[in-house]
Chain A
Amino acid sequence: MVPEQDVLTISTIWSQLARRAEQEKTLHLADWFASDPDRFARFSLEDAGLLADFSKQRMSDEIRDLLVKLADERQLRHWTEALFGGAEVNCTEGRPAKHWCLREPADRAPMVHEQLDAMEDMVNRILKGHWRGVMGDAITDVVNVGVGGSDLGPLMAAFALQSCLPPQGLSRPRLHFASSMDGSQVSQILQELNPRTTLFLVSSKSFTTVDTLHNATTARQWLGRGLGLDCDDASLLRCHFIGISANPERMSEWGIMPDNQLLFWDWVGGRYSLWSAIGMPIALTVGMDGFRDMLAGAHEMDHHCRTRPWENNIPVMLALVDVWNINFLGINARAVLPYDGRLKHLPAYLEQLEMESNGKSVARSGEPVEYGTCPVIWGEVGPNAQHAFFQLLHQGTQPIACEFLMTARRYTEAQHFDAVCELEAQHSLSNANCLAQSRLLALGERALDPEVALPSYKRYHGNQPSTTLVLEELSPRVLGALLAMYEHKVFVQAVIWGINPFDQWGVEMGKVIATGMLEVLADPESASGLDASSLALARHIAKRQK
């Protein structure tokens, strides 16, 4: 059962937290460390291949205990049971959110495993070179056509796991991702690929996403032209398109052959769907065993989240720390900084996961919320970001929370054998930078030699809090645990704030208005009731297209 709709009231705990924040405002992180050298032991957690260090957050034991009490007051236990019990936690759409079910073992989720097995069959045929194009050639290139959750998750994870090769004897196809509605990617990809050896995965939960269907149609016409076939040709569709959706009827209408349809379900949100067949590009990268390892890692994190007491619970503590920063310290931005280039697409993935989930201002009760919810999240590969926006982190005027990610072990795979010394040195250099930056951000110039006097423009005020996440290694299993950790963290925050993290009504209206705008662009003079700016822009463009 979903707990009764509740409103986050200014409780005594909330007021106590606010008071503490006021009292401790003057304390600098350097003071926290000076007075409490054992912080790390009490403010770090380890499980499932992950270490989370919260000790560089501006937090004391009392604050942590109050935050845990807040979680109890907000009935987190109840909500967690509702989520994992399959209750209708997505109240505005009247359905449960069971992405966790995608990583359950076969006996508990037979339907899920039926689809995983169907996907495994396809993945193996492709990896073994047995999937044939219409002219009989083995597939060498796979294009993922999808947007949002059907793009960001698979892209991020497939890129992250590139160095984990599929088992011997299987050969990984080249993967391409086409998402943007203007055709920028698909036009480029199609120029480089051979229609005889290219397979398209068309991924869309509803199979009505215009961005995706337009890209898929462009691909279909390209195949028809290139192969000298009608683009409705049944063998062309059978040999070159796989559809992944929760809507089999729409897939069939579009032309996806029944045997080439992989299903997921209404109760999987798009941004939570990489664990389903939507994750096929990941399986094509690491093989199906690797994909199942990723699911197992996520399942381990599900178990962690359900069973650990809040103060020892990594996703819960991440969420509570964020709540502390946002609602009590007034820090409304978070930078995600992976110090491992393979996690390059993680910031974009988290931007969607967190901001689409918790970028809400209406509580479950329907009332507007009176406190901040999801902050602005952005990020970049750490060492590259050092050359871009770190200046602002160190010397700007905004308080910003940072999230550092690093891997302990790297370059252990056979393909790096020849250059292992040089590459390990680069890995160490990157980790050293990660530690240096989080230390300097926290301590400021108190990390430096006190004897040296600095001019004002060379000073570092510090006191920017950060969390550091250390991955044992970037394997499918650890990545699975990491991503499930973020999913649960988002849910816990939503519970504290009393909002529904599983809908996204804010992205609907723009699509509707865009349909009308097509007519305006075609003939600006026909428009009525348009604002002056939009009308002038439409006219400007129309004039230049003549």
Chain B
Amino acid sequence: MQITVYGDTLCAQVTATAMAQTGHQVHWCVVEPLSRERLAEGRPLFQEQGLDRLCREQLESGRLTTGFWEDVPSGIPDAVFLSLQPGEEGVAERLVNMLASSTGCGLIVNQTVGPVGAAEQLRTIIKQANTRSALVSLPDLIQEGNAFRTFTRPDSILLGCEDGEGEALVRELLRPFNRRKDVIQVMSLREAEFSKLAISGILATRISYMNDMASLSESLGVDIDVVRVAMGADPRIGDSYLYPGCGFGGPGLSRNVLALVDALNAKASEPGLLEQVLQTNERQKEVLFRKFWQFNHGNVAGKKVALWGVAFKPGTHRVDNAPALKVIEALWAQGVEVSVHDPKALADIESWAEGRGELILCDDPYEAAEGADALMLITEWKPYWSPDWQRLKRAMREPLILDGRNIYEPDFVREQGLVYRGIGR
């Protein structure tokens, strides 16, 4: 089939790649001029493991072509995916208006995460134009860092669809990814949108809950990691999203929770719990800063701190809302010098830091730790899991290890002659 995907998001890249890979002819149109330049040079927008290569392959094969959203389409696609960034509602409406006025496009799939009711609004435009297009909602459930796999081998697919004809066409498009068993759950447009937000809400709640438990553990002299394993063994709880740490970030999770808080506020019910969840998370992003501050009794001006990992999670180069940003700003404000290492996110952190402050970017993790008064592990990239402790100890001015993801064994690190502080242990 002829498919057009609109948007500059990771979801757009994954959708376009996966559709092209399964044999469709895909045209991917971006909104940002910068994205257009990148794609024109044959470079995908997102460099996740595997996805990067697959996307390039599809571009080279010619099954995936790229363009700009305002360009006049060369033909009428059979299906269109809208995978825009939040806040681009205006773009979505213009696109749907354009599609509604042309005949032929049978299906518009809205993947954009927005306020509940956004898809209904788009459908109203189509109805007014009186065309045969169907509009369905397929909320983006992919997990960053593991995006391609979660799209092509999903545990569940939420499909908001109030039109039988549309459903058949979406099922046909998703058939290659829905083979082991049928994981598509059909519901109304609003229900699909709300389910997506509600999922984000509970994941965020679990993490903030664990972070609360972690601060309690510290004052009770308990190791939160032991507690975490014990909790996870209970099948009613399960073991995912139970890791305490220095806060969650990324463009997705916290934004979705915010959208949910907004929705609750707009309906004038009490957003108490979720606002607390977000507040706890914002506080948690500074937990390593506080540990560093306490260790030095507030005398931190002129010291140096090394950060390992600034991406909001391993496997991505993105730093949107990442805990590292808050830590860096807090350190800067106190006159602390900051050096960072990250396997993929150095370019992103560099452009973020521009105009904000001085950041020392290092290609080598040990170089970052040179002369540092503390090492903060913020993103648990695999190469950080087993460092050369003696080398670190020699390189650092003060061998203080602040483990924001609890990936090290406290006793072992201490035996090596370093000072260890984890989250809740």
Query: How long is the Cα–Cα vector from A138 to B292 in the complex, in angstroms?
Result: 14
Pair B334/A130 contact, Cβ less than 8 Å: yes
Task: Tell whether A132 is near chain B: CB-to-CB under 8 Å.
Answer: yes
B interface residues, tally (CB under 8 Å): 14
Pair B333/A128 contact, Cβ less than 8 Å: yes
Pair A238/B290 contact, Cβ less than 8 Å: no
Task: Tell whether A496 is near chain B: CB-to-CB under 8 Å.
Answer: no
Interface residues of A in 193-250 (CB under 8 A from B): 234-235, 238-239
Q: What sequence of 0s and 1s flags, for each residue 282-317 of chain B, a beta carbon within 8 Å of any chain A beta carbon? A: 010010011111100111000000000000000000
Pair B333/A137 contact, Cβ less than 8 Å: no
Pair B290/A137 contact, Cβ less than 8 Å: yes
Pair A136/B286 contact, Cβ less than 8 Å: yes
Instruction: Write the nearest CB–CB distance from B330 to chain A, whole angstroms.
Output: 8
Q: Which residues of B contact A130 (CB under 8 A)?
A: 330, 333-334
Instruction: Write the nearest CB–CB distance from B282 to chain A, whole angstroms.
Output: 10
Task: Tell whether A429 is near chain B: CB-to-CB under 8 Å.
Answer: no
A interface residues, tally (CB under 8 Å): 13
Instruction: Write the nearest CB–CB distance from B238 to chain A, whole angstroms.
Output: 33
Q: Which residues of A contact B333 (CB under 8 A)?
A: 125, 128, 130
Pair B289/A136 contact, Cβ less than 8 Å: yes
Q: Which residues of A contact B294 (CB under 8 A)?
A: 134-136
Given contacts A130-B333, A130-B334, A132-B334, contact A239 B298 (CB under 8 A): yes
Q: Which residues of A contact B286 (CB under 8 A)?
A: 136-138
Query: How long is the Cα–Cα vector from A239 to B299 in the complex, in angstroms?
Result: 10
Query: How long is the Cα–Cα vector from A367 to B283 in the complex, in angstroms?
Result: 65
Q: Which residues of B contact A135 (CB under 8 A)?
A: 290, 293-294
Instruction: Write the nearest CB–CB distance from A502 to chain B, whole angstroms.
Output: 41
Query: How long is the Cα–Cα vector from A239 to B296 in the complex, in angstroms?
Result: 13
Query: How long is the Cα–Cα vector from A137 to B294 in the complex, in angstroms?
Result: 10
Which of A134, A135, A136 is packed against the most chain B CB atoms within 10 Å?
Answer: A136
Pair A238/B334 contact, Cβ less than 8 Å: no
Instruction: Write the nearest CB–CB distance from A122 to chain B, whole angstroms.
Output: 13
- In the complex, what residue of chain A is closest to B286 when comparing beta carbons? A136
Pair B291/A136 contact, Cβ less than 8 Å: yes
Interface residues of A in 123-144 (CB under 8 A from B): 125, 128, 130, 132, 134-138
Instruction: Write the nearest CB–CB distance from B283 to chain A, whole angstroms.
Output: 8
Pair B297/A235 contact, Cβ less than 8 Å: yes
Query: How long is the Cα–Cα vector from A51 to B294 in the complex, in angstroms?
Result: 55
Q: Which residues of A contact B299 (CB under 8 A)?
A: 235
Instruction: Write the nearest CB–CB distance from B246 to chain A, whole angstroms.
Output: 13
Q: Which residues of A contact B283 (CB under 8 A)?
A: 137
Q: Which residues of A contact B334 (CB under 8 A)?
A: 130, 132
Interface residues of A in 106-152 (CB under 8 A from B): 125, 128, 130, 132, 134-138
Name B residues whose Cβ lies closer than 8 Å to a Cβ of A: 283, 286, 289-294, 297-299, 330, 333-334
Known pairs A130-B333, A130-B334, A137-B290; list 9 more (Cβ under 8 Å).
A132-B334, A134-B294, A134-B298, A135-B294, A136-B292, A136-B293, A137-B283, A138-B286, A235-B298
- 14 A-B pairs with C-beta separation under 8 A: A130-B334, A132-B293, A135-B290, A135-B294, A136-B290, A136-B293, A136-B294, A136-B298, A137-B283, A137-B286, A137-B290, A138-B286, A235-B297, A235-B299
Q: Which 9 A-B pairs have the closest CB atoms?
A: A136-B290, A136-B293, A130-B333, A235-B297, A235-B298, A239-B298, A136-B294, A135-B294, A136-B289
